[in-house]
């Protein structure tokens, strides 16, 4: 019996080493970093995409913009250069989904408060009503941190074009009425190259948690 174990000792050692190597390879293969998808207009419901873009399959990114925030400051894409950010569309007098969305943005703000890589951007869909003064009043009420989160207003046509052609976030391009644009509850995760990397239900707590996880996941992409 002793002789038997002596004869197979080295076999057992070699088998154990090979087993460890195989297990390590399988583990590393299963845990390879998988980047978040890059959303193109062709991947999104046609009701949210301008007809001129519905079949675009690549190279989509957020267009240049120039809007005014709650402090009367002009905000452009340069203020979000090399930043990951979460964007949405809302209006301050909304009594339905907007308060829930804003409360969830507040939650995200709390989580990213000390993260210099991440910011927030909320666009008013009723810019004639949501003046900088009105946005400031709303920002104070909701606890908006000016360094992390811009509530923006501006030219209505410009905002609508951003919503339909850049963020893919509204169901109607507008017909001229103050409340005509049918915005969604979507939050959009935008990367440092101004590409859409995720859509989330801004009224759903589980989706907000998924968004926060995806922000961390996206940050890993820039460390690869």
CB of 115 within 8 A of CB of 155? no
Residue 60 annotated as part of some ligand binding site: no
State how far the Cα of 72 lies from the Cα of 146, in Å rounded to an integer.
12
Is 69 in a helix, a strand, or coil? coil
Q: Is 217 annotated as a binding residue?
A: no
> Residue 187: which of 211, 171, 209 has the closest Cα?
211
| Euclidean distance between CA atoms 72 and 156, whole angstroms | 16
Residue 123 annotated as binding site: no
Say which residues have a Cβ less than 8 Å from residue 142's Cβ, sequence separation at least 6. 102, 103, 106
How far lies 115's CA from each of 107, 140, 216, 220, 223, in Å?
14, 21, 11, 14, 15
In terms of DSSP bridges, do strands 118-124 and 149-152 run parallel, antiparallel, or are they unpaired?
parallel
Which residues does 87 contact at the CB level (< 8 Å), separation at least 6? 62, 120, 121, 122, 123, 167, 169, 187, 188, 190
Which run of H or of E encompasses 81?
none
* Binding-site positions: 94, 98, 183
* Binding-site positions for Cu cation: 94, 98, 183
């Amino acid at each position: 019996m002793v002789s038997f174990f002596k004869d197979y000792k080295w076999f057992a050692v070699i088998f154990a080493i090979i087993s460890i190597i195989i297990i390590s390879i399988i583990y590393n293969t299963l845990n390879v970093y998988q980047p978040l998808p890059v959303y193109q207009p062709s991947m999104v419901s046609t009701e949210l995409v301008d007809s001129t873009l519905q079949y675009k399959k690549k190279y989509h990114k957020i267009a240049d913009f120039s809007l005014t925030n709650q402090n009367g400051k002009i905000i452009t894409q340069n203020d979000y250069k090399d930043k990951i950010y979460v964007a949405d569309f809302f209006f301050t007098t909304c009594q339905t989904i907007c308060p829930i969305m804003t409360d969830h943005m507040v939650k995200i703000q709390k989580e990213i408060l000390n993260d210099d890589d991440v910011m927030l951007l909320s666009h008013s869909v009723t810019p004639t009503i949501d003046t900088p003064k009105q946005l400031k009043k709303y920002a104070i009420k909701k606890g908006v941190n000016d360094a992390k989160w811009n509530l923006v207003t501006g030219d209505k046509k410009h905002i609508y074009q951003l919503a339909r052609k850049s963020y893919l976030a509204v169901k109607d391009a507008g017909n001229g009425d103050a409340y005509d644009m049918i915005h969604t509850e979507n939050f959009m995760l935008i990367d440092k190259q101004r590409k859409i990397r995720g859509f989330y239900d801004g009224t759903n707590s589980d989706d907000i948690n998924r968004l926060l996880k995806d922000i961390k996941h996206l940050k890993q992409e820039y460390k690869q």
